[in-house]
Structure 1
C-alpha cells in the first residue's frame, strides 16, 4: 500500500513539475514582450485602459479582423476615432467579455463584430484566449470569461499549462524534424491593426482548400445564438450600433467552394433577426485579388485598404 501511495505522490510531483516547466518555457517570451512593451495584446489593452472615452468605433474578432481593418484609413474617411481590438483566435464569447471590459473605459458609438463559423465553434485556442483576458483590469470579467464562457474546459485549461499549450508543443515538436522554416517579417501595428506586407505565393494559392462549412467545421449554432443574444443586449444597454461583418476570402477559395452554407447561414440569420449583416466578399461588388492576401484567409495591407473602405460604406449606411 505504501509503495502504491509513493507511486501516486511521485506521479503527481512529476506531473506538477512538467506543467511548471512548460509554463516557464511558453510564458517567458510573453513576459519578456510585456516588459519590453512589444506584446501586442498588452499594447492594445493599454491603449483602451489609458485613453478613456477616446474611441468611437471598436473592432472585435479574430486575426482576420485585425489584419483587415486599418483605423488610419477608417478615421481619414469618417468622423470617427476607431481602434482594432481583434486578437488571435478570438471567438464570440471572448468578444463579448472583451466588450464588457472595454465599456468600463470607452463609450463607442459603433462596434464591428466578426461573423464566421470558426468564431463560434467547439475548438478553442485557450492560450490565445487567456493571453487576451490576462490584460483585463476587471477580475470579474476574467473569471466570467473562464467559467461562463468556457465552463469546465476553460477552468481545466486555465490551471493546467500542459493542456493550454498542447497545440504549441505539438507544433514545436514538428518543427524539430521539419526542414521548413517560415520567414518572419517585421511587424507593424497601427491602433491594433496588423499592417502586413506579405503576399500569398502562387504555390500557396494552388494548395488552397474550400471555405469551411457545417460539415467540415465544428460550428456550434447554440453557442453562437447564446452569445449573439448577450452581445445584442449589452450593445442596446449602451446605445451601441453593431455592424456584423464577414471578412473577405481570396477569390480562388470562393471559386472552389461549392457549398456556401457559411454565407447562407448568416444571411438567413440576419434576415430573421432583422440585423444588418455585411459579407465583404459580395458587398458593393468590391473586387478582391488573391494578391490582396498574405495567406489563405488573412488580408495584407492591400486587401485591408479595400476592406477598410468597405467598412466606411457600412458606417454611412448605419
Structure 2
C-alpha cells in the first residue's frame, strides 16, 4: 500500500512537471514568427492585445491585401487585419469568435469572401500553427476534430504534441530568420504585404470547380446573427482577382451568386471588386488571386473610399 502511494505521488509529480514544461515551451513558441506570423497573431488575440474599431477577416487575400494603416489614414478609424493565411471560412469564424471572447467588440467588421471560402477540405492549412494552443482547449478541438491527423491526445497529454522535436527545431530555426518589427512581431497590425513578381505559367494552370461544402455554409448565417446580436456593422467584400484568371474557377459566378442571395436576404452589402479596374492590371498581382504590395495599397485606398458610407 505504501509503495502504491509513493508511485502515485511520483506520477503526479511527473504530470505537474510535464504541464509546467508544456506551458513554458508553448509560451516560448508563441513569441516566434512561426508560419508567417500566424502563431504570434493567435497569441495576440488570445491575450487581448488586438483591440480595434474596424476588424478585417478573411484568408490570405485579406491579410496581404488590406492595409490597416491606409484604412486608418483614410477613415480615421483604428483598424486591425485578422486575415488567416490559407484558411477557409470555418477557421476564420473560429478566429472571429476567439477575438470577441478576449477583446472588446469592434464597431465594424469587413469580411473578405473568396470563391473557395467554403470549399471542402480534409486538412487545415499549416495545422501546426494551432499546436501551442491545444492543451485542454475544447473549443479548438471542436473546430479541428473533423480534419484528418487531428489527434485528441495532443489536446490532453502535456508535451505529447511536441514529440517530433526535429520538426519543431527546424521550424524555429526558419522562423528566427524572418524579418520582424521592433516589437518582435512578423506582421504590422496583422498585415503583411509582399514585393513579389508575376509568376504564373498559363499553360500549366488548370481549370477547376470549387467543391462547395454545404455543411459549413450555415456558419455564414451564424456570423451574421452574431454581429447583429453584438450590434457590429458587417460589410462583405470580394477582393480583386486578375481578370484573366477568373475563368479558371468554373463555378465562380455560381458561388458569388450564392453569397449575394444570402447577403441580400439579410440586407448586407457585398463589395465585389472582380471587375474593378484593379483586376484588369497584371502589374498589381503576383498570381491570379493575390496582389503584390502595390496592388494591396491601391485596393485598400479604393476600399476605404467605398467604406466611408458605412462608417458612422
- TM-score by length of structure 1 reads 0.68
Corresponding residue to 1:37 among 29, 32, 35: 32
User: How big is the shift at 1:223?
Assistant: 2.0
2:105 paired residue number: 107
Alpha-carbon displacement from aligned partner over 1:63-110 (angstroms, at most 9, x marks no partner): 111111111111111121111111122222212221111012132111
> Would you say 1:278 and 2:271 are equivalent positions?
yes
Corresponding residue to 1:262 among 236, 255, 261: 255
Matched ranges for 1:109-188 at <5 A: 109-128=107-126, 131-132=129-130, 135=133, 139-147=137-145, 150=146, 153=147, 157-159=150-152
For residue 262 of structure 1, give the secondary structure of its aligned residue in structure 2: helix
CA gap 1:92/1:35 in 2 versus in 1, 3 angstroms? closer
Corresponding residue to 2:191 among 174, 190, 193: 193
CA gap 1:113/1:266 in 2 versus in 1, 3 angstroms? same
1:219 paired residue number: 212
User: How big is the shift at 1:46?
Assistant: 3.4
- Give ranges in structure 2 of 5+ residues lacking alignment: 1-24, 155-176, 181-185
Question: How many equivalent residue pairs?
Answer: 256
CA gap 1:207/1:33 in 2 versus in 1, 3 angstroms? farther
For residue 223 of structure 1, give the secondary structure of its aligned residue in structure 2: coil
2:63 paired residue number: 66
1:92 paired residue number: 89
* In 2: Cα distance, 1:279 partner to 1:138 partner: 40
1:251 paired residue number: 243
* In 2: Cα distance, 1:53 partner to 1:32 partner: 18
Alpha-carbon displacement from aligned partner over 1:253-312 (angstroms, at most 9, x marks no partner): 1367776323333233333332211112235x5554112112221111011112212321
**Cα RMSD, aligned residues only:** 3.4
Is the contact between residue 250 and residue 290 of structure 1 (CA under 8 Å) also seen in structure 2? yes
For residue 131 of structure 1, give the secondary structure of its aligned residue in structure 2: helix
> Would you say 1:230 and 2:225 are equivalent positions?
no
CA gap 1:43/1:36 in 2 versus in 1, 3 angstroms? closer
1:240 paired residue number: 232
CA gap 1:313/1:126 in 2 versus in 1, 3 angstroms? same
* In 2: Cα distance, 1:57 partner to 1:45 partner: 18
* In 2: Cα distance, 1:280 partner to 1:96 partner: 22
* In 1: Cα distance, 2:30 partner to 2:250 partner: 48
- TM-score by length of structure 2 reads 0.69
More helix by share: 1
* In 1: Cα distance, 2:302 partner to 2:28 partner: 34
2:300 paired residue number: 308
* In 2: Cα distance, 1:56 partner to 1:255 partner: 36
Is the contact between residue 63 and residue 86 of structure 1 (CA under 8 Å) also seen in structure 2? yes
Is the contact between residue 87 and residue 124 of structure 2 (CA under 8 Å) also seen in structure 1? no
* In 1: Cα distance, 2:284 partner to 2:239 partner: 13
* In 2: Cα distance, 1:235 partner to 1:192 partner: 21
